[in-house]
Amino acid sequence: MAKPDEARRFYARLMAAHARSADPRIEEVFAAVPREAFLGPGPWTVFAGEGRFQTPSADPGYIYQNVLVVLDADKGINNGEPMLHAMWLGKVEPKPGEHVTHIGAGTGYYTALLARLVEPGGGVTAFEIEAGLAARAKANLARYRNIEVIHGDAVANPLPPSDVIYVNAGVVAPPAAWLKALKPGGRMIFPWRPSETVGLAVLVTRLKNGFTCRPFMGSWFIPCVGASVAEPGAKIPTRERAARTRSIWLREDKAPDRTATAVSGDIWFSSRAVRVDDTR
């Protein structure tokens, strides 16, 4: 195996390539943050394809690959696929001085990457609903002065005003409070899972006159407690209709119309893009 630092530098280069971003800091943060520090002692159990494997030893080189690493096997909780997160970071573009809310922080690995990307001057509020994972995240992230870890429910508790909301749990629709927490120009990235057959990563941007909504890749995460079950009467999209979504609306601002691709509670999705004549 390559030495850990060497393996991590090469892994960082690969992740930056997958991010397809002009921001060189993405490679830098993947190279700077040791993944093994957030996984517990090795050997580790990893997922690849349809299989589960144990690494031959506790050599960190084994986890500098595009593999999920088991955090809680009974609950199906993993340290997610690095390539997916690299692509998400490239899409959501955290910038120095911004504030990020991370929902579903796990043990804090991707929280640490986000925290480094908003330095200097920025910070991260990280929510984790599982008590054991939240405790591990607090310990793992103790040296990061710009991170607050909250053991709590991000659906039931208010979010701080956010430039970026980074969601690592599947939702039928983002709660209205999440959209309202976005600052002007703010971005939210989340796994949209309106049904068992539809799983899409979605990038939302808050404009002056509405919220753009762009599905950009397949994505499957464990369900988000409190936001993963469709309400009675919800309009559930097919994958094809979901992929055509171009905006998202609060019912209080605009009633669902014939362009609606999905409707859930206080939120609806539309195939029509936000236009300059749309009003808030």
pLDDT in tens, 218-227: 888 888 888 8
Most confident range (mean pLDDT) of 3-7, 71-75, 186-190, 262-266 is 186-190
Sequence spans of domains, the chain: 1-86
pTM: 0.94
- pLDDT the model gives residue 111: 98
Give the percent of the chain with pLDDT over 90.
81
| pLDDT band at residue 63 using 50, 70 and 90 as cut-offs | very high
| pLDDT band at residue 144 using 50, 70 and 90 as cut-offs | very high
Q: Is the pLDDT of residue 73 over 90?
A: no
Other beta carbons within 10 Å of 66? 15
The separation between the first and the last C-alpha atoms of the chain, rounded to the nearest angstrom, is 56
- pLDDT the model gives residue 1: 56
- pLDDT the model gives residue 280: 42
Record the tokens describing residue 105, joined without a space. Answer: 């922080």
277 vs 12 pLDDT, higher one: 12
Which residues neighbour 57 within 8 Å (Cβ) at sequence distance 6 or greater? Answer: 42, 43
Mean pLDDT computed over every residue of the chain: 93
Q: What is the pLDDT of residues 160-173, one digit of tens each?
A: 999 999 999 999 99
33 vs 220 pLDDT, higher one: 33
Q: What is the pLDDT of residues 92-134, one digit of tens each?
A: 999 999 999 999 999 999 999 999 999 999 999 999 999 999 9
Mean of the pLDDT values across residues 17-27?
A: 93
Q: At what angle do helices 109-117 and 131-140 cross, to 10 degrees?
A: 50
Q: Which residue has the tokens 């991170």?
A: 147
Which of the residue ranges 2-6, 39-43, 275-279 would you say has the lowest mean pLDDT? 275-279
- pLDDT the model gives residue 237: 92
Q: Is the pLDDT of residue 279 over 80?
A: no
| pLDDT band at residue 182 using 50, 70 and 90 as cut-offs | very high
- As a whole number of angstroms, the distance between CA 59 and CA 3 comes to 9
Neighbour-count burial of 223, counting CB atoms closer than 10 A to its CB (0-12 exposed, 13-18 middle, 19+ buried): middle
Which of the residue ranges 2-6, 53-57, 76-80, 205-209 would you say has the lowest mean pLDDT? 2-6
- pLDDT the model gives residue 228: 82
Q: What is the pLDDT of residues 128-139, one digit of tens each?
A: 999 999 999 999
| pLDDT band at residue 202 using 50, 70 and 90 as cut-offs | very high
Q: Is the pLDDT of residue 25 over 90?
A: yes
